[in-house]
Structure 1
Amino acid sequence: MKKIGLILLLVIGSMAVQAQELKWETNLEKATQVALKTKKPLLLFFTGSDWCGWCIRLQNEVLKTPEFSSWAKENVVLVEVDFPRRSPQQPEIQSQNAQLQQLFEVRGYPTIWLANPQKADEKINFNKIGSTGYVAGGPSKWIENANQILTSKG
């Protein structure tokens, strides 16, 4: 009986953790629709998820923290723009990400752009708010920096 209770507790606990995890969209069209509907800017995370040390560090120190999760749910729509070297990726996502890299002139990783999508004649344009990358000092410093970008040009 104790084993069943323990297993039940573990299953419920893992479901609670999954419910708190953030949704990082990889499809820009879907993310844009959410951003337009919620009137939140896009947070575009340009990363090399399986090879970029600073990207992995940013993920672990900031993007996977409860503090960032709370902030992101209130303020932005998350988009991962990944350039993996070892992990497979769908060709349409590769093409989309390459176009975004050119549009936002990303030259290094990690780079995070905050942008407002705007629909004009069935075409989506992006109003670039500002960019950042790795910020030392943990999630509170990173969030402080992101809030400055959002309030200064948002």
Structure 2
Amino acid sequence: MKKIILTVALFLVSVITITAQNWQTDFTLAKDISSKEHKPIILVFQGSDWCGPCIKLDHEIWSTDAFKNYADKNYVMLQADFPKRKKNALPEAQTKANAKLAEAYNKNGIFPFVVVLNAKGEVLGETSYKKTTPENYIKEINAFTK
């Protein structure tokens, strides 16, 4: 019985790992990956536990198979989260790193805010939540990189 439970647990972890979006949280690492793989960076400012449009953007775009599959091959995904609930608090170093990103790229404090960057950290385009399909969102983001 323990072997069956362990096997099922391992299977579920592998499925979750395969279908999870590959989010970076370190800007320097994201730029390095972007440079090596020749992919633009999608920097997402979100309030994962309080911002309604942020949660919708995650469910309707970022978490879809269509977007995840495309993003894995074409983008470096960078997340700057600003949770409010104590139980979701980020480590202090990550909170400071996210604040530094916000100072540079989100001075107006818009949530959600999506910034498309090149490997040098230069802004190619900006957008936010839109009620659309993953495919149309991809088209919009791709237009920034042309």
5 Å matches for 1:100-119?
100-107=101-108, 108-118=110-120
Q: 1:138 to 1:106 in 2, by over 3 A?
A: farther
Instruction: State the 4+ residue runs in structure 1 displaced beyond 4 angstroms.
Output: 4-11
Provide the residue aligned with 1:42 in structure 2: 41
The answer as to whether partners of 1:111 and 1:132 remain within 8 angstroms in 2 is yes
Provide the residue aligned with 1:141 in structure 2: 136
Q: Does 1:57 align with 2:52?
A: no
The one-letter code of the counterpart of 2:61 is V
The answer as to whether partners of 1:44 and 1:81 remain within 8 angstroms in 2 is yes
User: Which 10-residue stretch deviates more, 93-102 or 47-56?
Assistant: 93-102
Q: Deviations over 1:79-113 (max 9, x none)?
A: 10011111111122111111111211342111110
The one-letter code of the counterpart of 1:92 is A
TM-score, normalising length: structure 2: 0.86
The answer as to whether partners of 1:136 and 1:142 remain within 8 angstroms in 2 is no
The one-letter code of the counterpart of 1:93 is Q
Structure 2 unpaired stretches of 5+:
none
Structure 1 unpaired stretches of 5+:
119-125
The answer as to whether partners of 1:114 and 1:130 remain within 8 angstroms in 2 is yes
Q: 1:59 to 1:52 in 2, by over 3 A?
A: same
TM-score, normalising length: structure 1: 0.82
RMSD over equivalenced CA pairs, Å? 2.1
Q: Aligned residue pairs: how many?
A: 143
Q: 1:96 to 1:9 in 2, by over 3 A?
A: closer
Q: 1:9 to 1:111 in 2, by over 3 A?
A: same
How far the C-alpha of 1:32 sits from its partner, in A, is 1.7
Q: Which has the higher contact order (CA 8 A, sep 6+)?
A: 2
- From the CA coordinates, give the structure whose radius of gyration is larger: 1
Q: Deviations over 1:6-49 (max 9, x none)?
A: 98467435523422322111111222221121121111010001
Provide the residue aligned with 1:66 in structure 2: 65
Distance, in Å, in 2 between the alignment partners of 1:99 and 1:5 is 47
